[in-house]
Every structure is written in structure tokens, then in C-alpha cells.
Amino acid sequence: RMPSLPPQSTPPTAETQSVIPGERFLVGLLFLLPVLWFIYPALPHFSRIILGIPNDNVLNIWTFWHATHAFLLHDEPLYSTQRILAPLGSTLALHDMSLLPTFLLSPITQVMGIFFSFNLFLILAQLWAGFGIFSLVRHLTQSRLSAAFAAFLIEMSPILFYRLINHYSLTYIGFIPFLTYLLIKSMEESDAHSARRQGVIIGGTAIACFLTSFNIFTLSFCTLAFLWTGAFITALAQRAHTQARRLVTIVLWAGIVCGAFLYIWAVVSPVQDARFWWNEKTISAGNEVGINLPYLLTPNPRYWAFADHLTTWPATYSNNNDERFCYLGYIPSLLCLIGTVALIRRRRLWGILFLLTLALCINLAIGYGSTPPLNPFYTDQRASPWLLFPKFLHLPLMKQARVPARWMFPALAFFVTFAGCGINTLLQKYHTPRKRIAVVLLLCTLISLEYAHRPTPTTDFTIPAAYQAIGVADTPTAMVVEFPLYAICGVKGWCGDTKSDLPRMAWATQHRYRIVTGYLSRISLHKLTALFNQPFLRDLWMLQNGLSTMLTDQSPTDQAMVHRWLRLNDVRFVIVDKQRANAQKVVQYLTDNHLAVLKKEDAHYGVYQIKMDTTNF
């Protein structure tokens, strides 16, 4: 038997429409408490440090800065740059750029600085996740208190919490429940003109999602398409032709709005090197990271606040462990079970569709297995026997999510939606407002203790004293070369320490010189080879990898090529990390060939200024 179509929306009852004393304050408190817990370690130095660990967020700071400058100064195209991977430059078509929040925060960035705006960006992402789930749950339950509890739950979720400190572009998951709310609302209206209006609203929201995060847009599009298809098939099966036509009208107008925007966007801001998307093989690590199924209900003590034996975040955390960390919690899981039954009884169609979507997304999040000993259900490293429809992940649109574990974002949205319906079922057992508020506060306290987040790690991006000696670039072409050259993950013979190289991207937003460093998973092997075949960079690369014997008999012609390269690319400084291997050989290379003189050094770095007579060679 097919599930029935959703009934027309009815006005709230007197019970749900009345305002419980203190309810508004409690709703605001449930929204803000997770945010305060998230940001309090950074409050004393909010404009100098960032919330998070020195991983991808560090690289995203540069992208955030570049997009701001492209909007305000128009000094570079939005989707290409000469400031990284210099002197060749790079396309930014594959970079994560949250353009809409960056544009909205650009006035604050001009006044308070890039780090302040970046932290504010993360706070807004957390609040948006809460608002998206609040809108959906309130529409389903007609209860502000239940919706606020759901907002608290998603804001405190480890899946979102540990994404906030690692991948800024994957934090605006609130679009998934908010678009679902718009779809349900559009189906429940009866006005003939409202379908077109709702289609335009859904299309506009999808555009905002696209401009905020392409990964979240992909997940939202697939989720919404699945829900729409289920509702459309149900309408046809029940011969509800009016509802079917309404669904078609909604999707047509949403498609018209999105298509018109994409055409205008392609004309106004063309994506340079578009063929790079398809023709170049990029270096990419971790694209087969899936969750471990038992981790859904297995607390990881490494992340607990009460783990006294741990004083720092584990070193292995930055190695994609956050992708696999998907603990849902026992109390929320119990509420989810209660809410699933309640929602299916009250709204049969959406309850069944949400449940199917939740199961499908968890199935996709399993994706390809991680380390077999951690999960006895996995038979090998590549594929999980629990994975249904494995070819589904290889569709072009599915591959845009890149990491199967990211399908836990829509799974989390529907999990929390069911939990919100579950708390609403419990609150109906209590007839006095005080008891309802007490139940919500008790459950929020227990969930906070169950999740027990450790204080948010922060990263200080104060520029080292040696770097301060180079000042701020006086021309857009000025370039600085840093040794060692950055790490290339997974490529034999390309050495380096990724974590210690990452801050260079953040420092570049302050000194504004062109740098050789770039985002590792967004460069093709072909361009990488061309980059390190540049005369001066080739010498540094050989020294870095212990191939210094190849430089002992440099011919005058080769020296002339190095001098000419330094002059043409306006190289001003070479900064050497003295604590890295073969650093002394680089210093000897610079001095023996009369390329540079020491300008400043400290215990960690040595800054060498390129001789002016050398650049005029």
C-alpha cells in the first residue's frame, strides 16, 4: 500500500500556539549554548587565531582571503590566481570557495581582519545548521520547544562539531533540512500561483547553497531529488494529478531560476581552465574514506572532555579521522526511534521518505571501508559488504561529494529531525509548561555529557619574526620562495611535512607575496612537474630530496638561467626552515652561487634577500 499524500496544512492548535513562559528565552539559549561552547577558547584572541586545527581550514583561509579581494579590489579573477603555485599560477575552479558568506562578511573583513571574519563564518555555519533543522522540525511538530531541542542537538553533534574545526566549506549543512522544509511547505499549499512562487524560492535557496558550498549543494540536490521522486510516484499511484502537476511546476520553476543564474554566472565570472576539471589527473588523498559502521554508536574516548590522559588533540586526527567520526549518541538514537514511529503515524509519506533517505545516506556513507581491524564488518580495504548499489557512488554527480563519509550530513539532518519529533512525543505527556522545560533541559544536559566535547582547538597565525622582516609586498608580482618546498601526498620522491607547511598559506594573506605553495589536492601532476622543472625550483627540489651531487658541476649557462628566472619572476626573498633536512645545503647553494645574502634569522627561519645585482644579471 502506497503512503498517503500529506494533508493540507492546518493552523496550530491552541496548545501549540500559546507561548510557554520563558520559552522564547529557552529557545534562544538552546541555539546559543553550543556556539558559546565552540568559541570560548578563542574569545581572548578572536582576531588573531582561528578555531580549528592546522589542517584544511588553514588552506581555506587563503581562499577566503582571495575571494574577498576578488570581490572588493578586482585585482585578480575569481577563479584563477598567480599568488599560489607561483610562477605558473593555478586555476581555482576546484577550490572550495564559500562565495556568498565571504561576500556578506567582506565589510567586516576590511575592518576586523581575515581571522575575525573566518571565525565568524564558522559561527554563522553552526547557527545556520540549527536554523535549518529548527524550521523543518517546527513545521512538522508545530512546537517551538521541540524544534529548539533539535537545533541544539545538531549544533552539538560531533559530526558538525569536528567538521567546523577542519573543513570550513562543509559546515553549512543547514541547507539540507531547510530545502526539505521548503519542499514540504510548497506541497501543502493549495493556491494555484503558490507552486510557481515556491519553485522560485526553492531555486533561489539552491543558488545560495551553490554559492556557499558545492559539496553541500551536491548532497542537498540529491537528497531533494530523492524526496521529490518519492512524492511524485506516490501522487501518480494515488491518481492525485493535482499534486503531481504541482510537483512538476515546482521543479520546473526551480530549474528555470537555477539555469538562468548559472548562465549569467558563467558569463559574468567565467571559470578559467574549465577543461582542467575533466582532462587533468589531480592529486587527491582520502577520496575513499568511508565511515566505520560501529562508530555510529561507539564513543571515541580520544574526543572526550574527561579524558585526563589526553592534553592535546591526537596527531592522527588531521589524517581524515574526522571524516569517520560519526558518533550519534544513545539518547538521541532512542529519541530518533520514538520520533520515527510518531512521524510515520502522523505524516505517513514524509515519515517513510525520511526513513528511506536516512538509510540510503548511511549506506552511501559506508562507501569504501577504512582500516579492516577497526570494523569487523569489512572484508577488505576497498568495499563494504554492507554497501548497497556500490555503482551509485560512481555517477558523475555522486563523485562530486568526493568522500563517501560526507553522506552522513543528510543522514544527520534526518536523524535529528526524527529526534525532534521524538522529543515532541515525550513533551505531549507533560501538561504543564514547567515540566516540559525541565524535560528539555534535562535531556540537553545528558546529551552534552554524552557527547562531552573537548574545548575547541585553536591555531595561532602570528607571523614569525623572520617572516616579518620581508614586510608587505609592494607590487602584485613580488615573489618569495620558501624551503622546503611543500609536501606532495602520495607521490613518490616528493618529500615534506604537510602540517608544518600549511601555515604558509595563512601567512601569505598577511605579507601578500606570491608563493610556491598551493593546495595539494587541487593541482594536476602535469602542472606539478612543470612547476618543479623551473630552473631555481628544480635546484631546490633536488637539494630537498638529497640529490645535491647533481648540482656540483653547474655550467655557466645553467647559472645564467637561474639568474634570469629570479629576475623575470621578481623573486625578492628565499626563506629557509633551518630545522628541516638539507637546509644547510640550500644555504650553501644560495651563498656559493652569490644569489642571496642573509637578511634576518631566528631559531627557526633564515631569510635571504636576493641580490639586486643578481636580478640584473
Residue 354 lies in a domain: yes
pLDDT by residue (tens digit) across 585-597?
888 888 888 888 9
pLDDT by residue (tens digit) across 497-509?
445 567 888 888 8
- Residue 158 is predicted with a pLDDT of 84
Average pLDDT over every residue of 339-359: 93
- With a cut of 70, say whether residue 488 has pLDDT above it: no
| Percent of the chain residues topping a pLDDT of 90 | 26
- Residue 318 is predicted with a pLDDT of 35
Domain count for the chain, please give it.
Answer: 2
pLDDT by residue (tens digit) across 412-432?
999 999 999 999 999 998 888
Same domain, 405 and 545: no
- Residue 390 is predicted with a pLDDT of 52
Same domain, 433 and 500: no
Same domain, 487 and 371: no
Which residue, 451, 485, 506, sits at the end of a domain? 451
Name the E strands within 289-409.
none
Same domain, 314 and 222: yes
Cell of 124: 554563522
pLDDT category of residue 366 using cuts at 50, 70 and 90: confident
Same domain, 240 and 201: yes
Concatenate the DSSP letters of all residues of 207-251 into one string. HHHHHH-HHHHHHHHHHHHHHHHHHHHHHHHTT-HHHHHHHHHHH
Residue 28 lies in a domain: no
Per the CB < 8 A criterion, the answer to whether 257 and 208 are in contact is no
In one-letter notation, the amino acid at residue 382 is: R
Average pLDDT over every residue of 430-443: 89
CA distance readout (Å), 214 to 313, 400, 402, 427, 474: 29, 8, 11, 38, 35
- Domain of residue 602 covers 465-615
Same domain, 172 and 317: yes
Residue 456 lies in a domain: no
- HSE, side-chain direction, 13 A CA sphere, residue 423: 33
pLDDT category of residue 384 using cuts at 50, 70 and 90: very low
For residue 547, give every residue at least 6 positions away whose Cβ sits within 8 Å of its Cβ, in sequence order, or none: none
- With a cut of 50, say whether residue 442 has pLDDT above it: yes
- Residue 148 is predicted with a pLDDT of 94
pLDDT by residue (tens digit) across 273-295?
444 444 444 444 444 556 666 66
- Residue whose entry in the numeric block shows the C-alpha cell 636576493: 610
Same domain, 446 and 524: no
Same domain, 237 and 111: yes
Same domain, 404 and 492: no
pLDDT category of residue 395 using cuts at 50, 70 and 90: low
CA gap 359, 365 in Å, rounded: 10
Residue 162 lies in a domain: yes
Same domain, 445 and 475: no
Same domain, 406 and 538: no
Which residue, 429, 451, 473, sits at the end of a domain? 451
Residue 251 lies in a domain: yes
Number of Cβ within a 10 Å radius of residue 497: 14
Which residue, 451, 483, 515, sits at the end of a domain? 451
> Bigger pLDDT: 296 or 480?
480
Same domain, 409 and 556: no
Residue 10 lies in a domain: no
Most confident of 96-110, 139-153, 372-386, 584-598: 139-153
Residue 113 lies in a domain: yes
Residue 227 lies in a domain: yes
For residue 341, give every residue at least 6 positions away whose Cβ sits within 8 Å of its Cβ, in sequence order, or none: none
Instruction: Tell me the whole-structure pTM to 2 decimals.
Output: 0.84
> Bigger pLDDT: 67 or 266?
67
> Bigger pLDDT: 598 or 22?
598
